[in-house]
Amino acid sequence: MQNNTQRSYPQEMFSFLLACLFFICLIIYVIIRVPTENFNIARVFHYNNLLWLGIINTIIISLYSLIFGLILGFILYITRESRIYFLKSLANIFIELMMGTPLVVLIVITTFFLGKAFSINNNYSLGVIALTCYIGPYMANMLKSVIDSIDKQQYIIMNLYGFTPYQRYRYIILPQVIRLLMPPLMNNFSYTIKGSSLLSLTAVPEIYYYIKNIQSDTFAYTEGYLVLWGAYLLLTLPLTILTKYIEKRYAL
């Protein structure tokens, strides 16, 4: 069974390049079919200082949101598993509410209502808060599904030998789940990166915000979106490669 599914490296590489070729052909076809006399992508790259600034801001916002989102997710996970029904309900209501909220609405509500109510005037921080709240419930669900995959009898063993909560997570649970955790974690990270584009609504200086400015300056609308697409791919593709590497590194 296993031998049938194993392919040699050159064969795999060939298939991969063939698949790349397919997409390149598709793109070439589209370029040939679409009139391009006014197409000039250089107009966008003329502003490459702004583009880099936007990319860096996007990375910073996403990183903050991911870290805070993971912390929020862990807190939600713990409170939802809690025996105190009040805490459990708080977490459940929050998760259900967030799961049903479009990111766009969440950003607007955070910035124009919560920001005013709690006197936070920095749109940058408010954006991070919105993204954190948005991604936190997904993180909580991810942690739940991954931690649930640990055999119940291992907990009996841990009880029997009197592991402390810290020891449980540090020595038994975390090492087993880190490999399982990587793919959904990276998925959530790429959601966060792409979701951050909506922060342009509230004038947070991330990449889409600058692209919008460049677009209205140069009227290079389609070109702007293509550059934006390239910028997001530049951020998300390395993540995929990193995930594959970590999965291999922690493979059992």
Partner 1 sequence: MILQINDLNMYYNRLQVLKNLNIELNNCNSIAIIGASGCGKSTLLRLLAGIEYPASGSISINRLEINQSTLRQYQQHIGFVFQDHNLFPHLSLKENITLILEKCRHETPEFADQRANDLLESLQLTEQADKLPRHVSGGQLQRASIARALSTDPDILLLDEPTASLDPILTHEVLKSIETLKNSGKDFIFVTHEIAFVQHFADYYIFLDQGEIIEHNPIGALINPTTPELTNFMQRVSY
The number of C-alpha atoms within 13 Å of 89 and in the hemisphere containing its C-beta is 3
**Contact between 132 and 63 (Cβ < 8 Å):** no
Tokens of 34: 């679409």
Q: Does 252 bind partner 1 (CB under 8 A)?
A: yes
**Contact between 224 and 211 (Cβ < 8 Å):** yes
Q: Decide whether 34 or 160 has the Cβ nearer to partner 1.
A: 160
Candidate list 37, 85, 151, 248; residue touching partner 1; CB under 8 A? 151
Subset of 86-105 contacting partner 1 (CB under 8 A): none
**Contact between 53 and 209 (Cβ < 8 Å):** no
Compute the least distance from the CB of residue 81 to partner 1, in Å. 20
Burial class (CB in 10 A: 0-12, 13-18, 19+), 246: middle
Q: Decide whether 37 or 151 has the Cβ nearer to partner 1.
A: 151
Candidate list 48, 122, 167, 240; residue touching partner 1; CB under 8 A? 167
Q: Decide whether 10 or 165 has the Cβ nearer to partner 1.
A: 165
Q: Does 163 bind partner 1 (CB under 8 A)?
A: yes
Compute the least distance from the CB of residue 82 to partner 1, in Å. 21
Q: Decide whether 33 or 248 has the Cβ nearer to partner 1.
A: 248
> Near partner 1 by CB under 8 A, which window of 136-144, 166-174, 195-203, 224-232?
166-174
Q: Does 21 bind partner 1 (CB under 8 A)?
A: no
Q: Does 30 bind partner 1 (CB under 8 A)?
A: no
**Contact between 205 and 57 (Cβ < 8 Å):** yes
Q: Does 160 bind partner 1 (CB under 8 A)?
A: yes
Q: Does 153 bind partner 1 (CB under 8 A)?
A: yes
Q: Does 24 bind partner 1 (CB under 8 A)?
A: no
Q: Decide whether 7 or 170 has the Cβ nearer to partner 1.
A: 170
Tell me the number of residues near partner 1 by CB under 8 A.
Answer: 16
Q: Does 171 bind partner 1 (CB under 8 A)?
A: yes
**Contact between 135 and 185 (Cβ < 8 Å):** no
DSSP 170: I
Compute the least distance from the CB of residue 169 to partner 1, in Å. 12
Q: Give the C-alpha separation, 218 to 38, whole Å.
A: 12
**Minimal CA–CA distance to 124: which of 205, 215, 241?**
205
Q: Does 161 bind partner 1 (CB under 8 A)?
A: yes
- 82: enclosing H helix or E strand: none
Q: Give the C-alpha separation, 18 to 36, whole Å.
A: 27
What is the distance, to the nearest Å, from the Cα of residue 16 to the centroid of all Cα atoms in its chain? Answer: 25
**Minimal CA–CA distance to 212: which of 200, 202, 204?**
200
Q: Decide whether 41 or 158 has the Cβ nearer to partner 1.
A: 158
Binding site for partner 1 (CB under 8 A): 151, 153-154, 156-157, 159-163, 167, 171-172, 175-176, 252
